[in-house]
């Protein structure tokens, strides 16, 4: 924000009505057997679904919604102090051992 004469105004590169920006983080494991990553068609469905949801719930115009899709290798992410793959394996072992 810039302050001109006591009035706060957004920098000129921001749209007048701020757009929603949605970040999605997924692991690059694919979503169907044999897939190594999310397909173009799946991403398109996610983008449309999010834009539809924001319009339905908040009245945000589709054309103002930006979705950024981040795909990462599974071990680029950690959970519980472990590599995500190790965390998932540990959780699977723990569930298997619970009666």
State the residue range of the domain holding 63: 18-97
Q: Is residue 4 part of a domain?
A: no
- The reply to whether 25 falls in a domain is yes
Tell me, yes or no, whether 8 lies in a domain: no
SS3 22: strand
- Is pTM beyond 0.75? Reply is no
Rounded to whole angstroms, the Cα distance separating 80 from 57 reads 33
Instruction: Report how many domains make up the chain.
Output: 1
Cβ neighbour number for residue 54 with a 10 Å cutoff = 19
**C-alpha span between 5 and 86 (Å, rounded):** 56
- pLDDT, one tens digit per residue, over 10-34 is 445 555 556 899 999 999 887 778 8
- β-strand pairing of 66-72 with 21-27: parallel
* 78 found inside a domain: yes
Looking up residue 24, the CATH number of its domain turns out to be 3.30.429.10
């Amino acid at each position: 924000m810039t302050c001109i004469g006591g009035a706060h105004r957004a920098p000129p590169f921001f749209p007048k009505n701020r757009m929603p920006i949605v970040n999605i983080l997924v692991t690059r494991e694919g979503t169907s057997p044999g897939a190594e990553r999310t397909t173009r068609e799946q991403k398109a469905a996610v983008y449309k679904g999010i834009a539809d949801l924001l319009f339905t719930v908040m009245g945000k115009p589709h054309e103002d919604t930006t979705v950024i899709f981040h795909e990462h290798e599974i071990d680029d992410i950690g959970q519980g102090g472990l590599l995500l793959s190790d965390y998932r394996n540990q959780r699977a072992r723990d569930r298997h051992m619970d009666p």
